[in-house]
Amino acid sequence: MPSAVVVTVSTRAAAGVYPDGSGPVLAEELRALGFAVTGPWVVADGEPVGEAIRSAVDQGHDLVVTTGGTGLTADDVTPEQTLALLDRLVPGLPEAIRAAGIRAGAPASLLSRGVAGTAGRTLVVNLPGSIRAVREAVAAIGPALLHAADQLGGGDHPRTH
């Protein structure tokens, strides 16, 4: 069973101002796909995002999915923290996530700056922070996440190095 870590990015939720809403939904959605899920880890915006992603990658998880921190406010730096850790981009995933939001009637989906890519053998994907967006995103990219975990683990392509 592939493993996944859910990272909720919210300074206020990390401080206990309000409960994390999207992280538990994301974890539930990934479990339904067949992932063994750790988290959600709730972290503040900024460097804690990169630290959480790096920790999950170092632990050897197949997938890290963040929720939150992809908007336009000054402290929404999840994409920048993610990009600093990636070896290769997988642009089709965030494109599909934004397209799913548009199809669902959420024009603000175009403002999400989320990215996706690989860090070693781990796929990292940024999702927006709303529960609705999380559900739409997983519906749009869920099967691809399983296939990516299989590919990164060498499942359908023999390793030559």
In Å, the largest CA–CA distance within the chain is 50
| Structural Rg of the chain based on CA atoms | 14
Could you tell me if 93 and 82 are in contact, meaning their C-beta atoms sit under 8 angstroms apart? no
- Strand 88-89: give its sheet, edge to edge: 36-43, 3-9, 63-67, 122-127, 116-119, 88-89
Place of tokens 């990215």: 115
Residue 9 pLDDT class (50, 70, 90 cuts): very high
Q: Report how far residue 119's alpha carbon sits from residue 92's, in angstroms, rounded to the nearest whole number.
A: 16
pLDDT at 156: 62
**pLDDT of 84 above 80:** yes
Please give the CATH architecture assigned to the domain spanning 3-153.
3-Layer(aba) Sandwich (3.40)
pLDDT at 103: 95
pLDDT at 157: 54
**pLDDT of 111 above 50:** yes
**pLDDT of 148 above 60:** yes
Mean pLDDT of the chain: 95
Residue 155 pLDDT class (50, 70, 90 cuts): confident
Least confident of 52-56, 141-145, 155-159: 155-159
H-helix or E-strand spanning residue 41? strand 36-43
**pTM of the model as a whole:** 0.95
Least confident of 27-36, 74-83, 147-156: 147-156
Average pLDDT over residues 80-87: 98
**pLDDT of 20 above 90:** yes
* Of 102, 80, 161, 94, residue with least CA distance to 123: 94
Residue 28: C-alpha distances to residues 39, 48, 50, 152 (Å): 10, 23, 23, 23
**pLDDT of 159 above 70:** no
Helix or strand or coil: residue 149? Answer: helix
